Amino acid sequence: MTDSTNPESLTKEDIQFVSSVGTVFTVKPQRNSSSAIIKYYGTMDANETIQDEPLICHFDKINETDNIDELNDISESNNLADADKMDKNNKLNKLNKSKKSNKSNGSDLNGETINKYIYNISETVYARFYKSMIAGNYLMMNKALPVIHCSILYEDKLVKGFLLNICIEFQITTKVKSEKELINNKLDGIYQIVIRKDEKEDAKCIELEIFPTEKIIIETLKTIIQTDEMKSVIKDMLEKRRLERIEKYGSFDDIEIPKPRYNFNKLVQQYSQTHKTK
């Protein structure tokens, strides 16, 4: 993705996004309010797909900074590179079980930047947090826009995959008369937490009075993940994925275990006497 060298200098007239599928935007919440500004983020090449920006989800102190937006915006290219390494390192992080409960959940990061992007929920389930990128054509067709989302995933020795998303969405209530009024203008709206288990099921929505800070939102999502209700949902989704695999690939119970061709005790005894296996 190609970023603007100076996005703040762009005027509404400069941004021609109506017919440009490759133009990307992001929602910039106005702190401690129910409003937001939609910002130009960059332009994708024809062969690129939108990649949401990974967010840090562990903080050394509760009041480390209220300006976590800037913290997560620093060295964006490095963040994306770190994100590419997360899946490879996730399994290694989980192998250290003696330190997992305290260290990989964020109380001691051991200087490993990669751990800042992973929130472990259980031995096989973890979460990753992202700032949502919005394509220009999606922006034109929707009033409910994604701001931040938390993807809950699973991984064990044999399989890995996606379970569900928890999103922060901004529902625009300001009457917008033209496309250009969407960009770089303060818009009023409603923030809500949206939990989607399945596209076929209705999402569960929790309305927020205001958007406090990015950090507080991430901490709030982590708290929701650890509730008994959410753990039950995750358990149900794991079982659903298991049944989907059985339907697609069959059950391991259907596989006949090969019978041993040799009696190894007998072979050892025979070899000790004759120095031959036959």
Between vectors from CA 232 to CA 61 and to CA 193, what angle results, nearest 5°?
55
With beta carbons less than 8 A apart as the criterion, state whether 133 and 24 touch.
yes
Instruction: Quote the pLDDT of residue 197.
Output: 82
CA distances from 202 to 107, 110, 167, 197, 241 (A): 36, 41, 14, 8, 19
**pTM of model > 0.75:** no
Cα-trace Rg, the chain: 25
Band of residue 13 on the pLDDT scale cut at 50, 70, 90: very low
Query: Using 50, 70 and 90 to split pLDDT, how confident is the model at 203?
Result: confident
- Weakest mean pLDDT among 12-21, 163-172, 239-248: 12-21
Token readout for 95 is: 């192998």
Helix (H) or strand (E) holding 192: strand 186-196
Supply the pLDDT for residue 145: 96
Q: What percent of the chain has a predicted confidence (pLDDT) above 90?
A: 46
- Asked if pLDDT for residue 16 goes beyond 50, the answer is no
For residue 210, what pLDDT is reported? 96
Q: Say whether pLDDT at 240 is over 80.
A: yes
Most confident of 78-92, 135-149, 240-254: 135-149
Return d(Cα 71, Cα 67) in angstroms, integer: 7
- The secondary element (H helix, E strand) that includes residue 233 is helix 228-249
Q: What confidence score (pLDDT) does residue 235 get?
A: 95
Phi, psi (rounded to 5 degrees) for 164: -165, 170
Where is mean pLDDT largest: 3-7, 108-112, 217-221, 263-267? 217-221
pLDDT tens-digit map of 91-147? 334 333 333 333 334 334 444 566 889 999 999 999 999 999 999 889 988 999 999
Taking residue 233's Cβ as centre, other Cβ atoms within 10 Å add up to 19
